Every structure is written in C-alpha cells, then in structure tokens.
Structure 1
C-alpha cells in the first residue's frame, strides 16, 4: 500500500503568489522607467496577471487532486493565492515607496495636492491639514488598502474561478478508480 501525499493548496497558492510578486516588481519598474503616470488607465494592466495567476492556482490544484475539485476546494485555493499575493504586494509597495523609490511617493503627494487645490473646494488650510495627514499615514493606508483590496477582489474572483474549475466526482468515477486500482490477476 502506497501513501499518497495530499496536494497542498497553500503550497500552490504561495508559488503563484511569488510569481505574481515578480511580475508586479517588473511592471512597477517598467512603469517608472517609461515614466507612465500611476493614475493613468495603464494601472489596470496589473489586474491581468493577478486574475490569470489566481485561475492558474485553481487549475493546478484541481490537476493535482486528480482532475476533480469541489467548489469549496477551488475557492480556498484561489482565496489563499489572493491573500498571499495581496500581502506580498503590500510589503513590496511599502519597501518600494519607503526605501527603494521614495521619490515616487513624493510625486504622488504633489499630484494629490495639486488636484485638491485645482478643485477649489478646500481652503489652503484644509489642503495643508489633508496633506499633513496623508504624509503621515498615507503610505500605511495605501499598503493596508492593497492587502484588503486584494483579498476582497480575490474572494470574488475565487468564487468565479471555483465555479469554472469545479469538477466533482460522481459515484461512477469512484467505481472506476476502484477497478483501476485492483491488481491484475
């Protein structure tokens, strides 16, 4: 009798989350090198690898389970990917904006201040208070928003992916496995 190792959704999700982190790092530096405005529509490019890797996590997990996966198993694998990916992206963002490229944070603050002043709905004092608050807590709020946003978006996408990749065993599938596992006489 051979012991089979049960596939680990956590291992698979972690692998794809680190691949996603590598893609995020490359895209971040590409945007910086090409001087693409982070507030432009190009920022949505980052969602494509997130979605693709979440679905690949679910597909790989189903494949490792022998081609069968319940809805709950699919959701769990996808959500783990989203959670790990969000945490890794948040950590990278903190390191990137705080230490590697703090000038990017400074640029973002200048753009935010200019937008507040341009709207004209705030007094100079209110803009100053808002900018002081943003300079003090903005980076932490950004990192928190990335982690939570990834988890929320990942939960929704995991539901969709689980519905797509779900393939539960029927009683006939179980009978076929028993027949295939019996030794030949």
Structure 2
C-alpha cells in the first residue's frame, strides 16, 4: 500500500486564507478605532502572519510523520508567504480603491502635511497628492506583495531551522508486514 505524500500547496493555501481573514478583521478594527496610519499598534498584524507560517510548516511536518528536512520545512513556509502576499495585495487594492477610498485621502493628507513640514512648494505637494491618488492603490499593493514575500521568507527560514528534524538510522520504520498470512 502506497502512502500519498502531503501537498504543501494545499496546506500553505489554507493558512494563507486564515491569515487573509484575520487581516481583514484587523484592518476594519483599526479603521473602527480610528488609528493613525503610522500607529505602532498596527504591528500586531505581524503576529498572526508569523504564527500561521509556523503552523503551516508544523502541519506539513506532522503529515510527513514528524521528520522533516530543512528544505521540506521551508517549502510550505515559502508558499504560505507567496500566497499571503498575493491575497493581501488583492485585498489592499480593493480596500484602497473600492471598499474604503477615504483611506487614500487620509494618506494624501498625511503625506501633504509631511511635505509641508519639509518646506516643499505647494506645487510639489499637489503633484505628490495627484500621483498618490492615481497610483497609490496599485503601488501599495505591489509593495505589500513583495514585502510580505520577503518577510515571509525570513520567517519561513527561521521556522524551518526550528522545525527541522531529520530521520536517523535509529528512526527507520520497520516495514515488515504484520499480517501472518503473508
């Protein structure tokens, strides 16, 4: 009887969808609480990202029988980071352009205030505001996807180093049939 190897893509996708759900809840919680765009409390969203990456790697390790190489452990973590980045980018684009377009105006206002503090001309501030309103959602989504992937790779490397447990000569599975008629 041949056992089917676990699929790291399915595991990573499941945990990426969990992360997306938590991210959506956190995003609307921050909006409901009227937190500033640069509030340090928003760093809380890194905790579920890190936790779900480790859980994806741990689930894959468990499905492999408790033994996993570094590369095998990194695989679901990388896929989780990739899928989370893509899903987050899609949500961020929809959020900034459709679901909450007022957020882009808040970003533009904060950007204009910073430029005014730096004694930039009104023409420069207006041009920056125009570019941000026009391309901000797309640029933000691309940056979020790439940033999530890079951060996720770092987390996946750490998780792989922690979870790595290679099979030794003493851990060889006894594959003798248990049926006495064989």
User: If the length of structure 1 is used for normalisation, what is the TM-score?
Assistant: 0.93
- Give distance in 1, aligned partners of 2:61 and 2:37: 36
Contact residue 115 and residue 125 of structure 2 kept, 8 A: yes
Structure with greater proportional helix content: 1
Give structure 2 stretches of 5+ with no counterpart. none
Contact residue 16 and residue 57 of structure 1 kept, 8 A: yes
Which residue is equivalent to 2:140? Answer: 142
- Give distance in 2, aligned partners of 1:116 and 1:9: 46
Contact residue 31 and residue 38 of structure 1 kept, 8 A: no
Which residue is equivalent to 1:96? Answer: 95
User: If the length of structure 2 is used for normalisation, what is the TM-score?
Assistant: 0.94
Q: Within 5 Å, give how 1:56-135 maps onto structure 2.
A: 56-120=55-119, 122-135=120-133
Report the alpha carbon displacement of residue 184 of structure 1 after superposing the two structures with TM: 5.2
Contact residue 13 and residue 81 of structure 1 kept, 8 A: yes
Which residue is equivalent to 2:169? Answer: 171
What per-residue deviation string (whole Å, max 9, x for no partner) do you get for residues 44-72 of structure 1? 01101000100111111100110011100
The number of equivalent residue pairs is 180
Q: Within 5 Å, give how 1:8-23 maps onto structure 2.
A: 8-23=7-22
- Give distance in 2, aligned partners of 1:127 and 1:103: 18
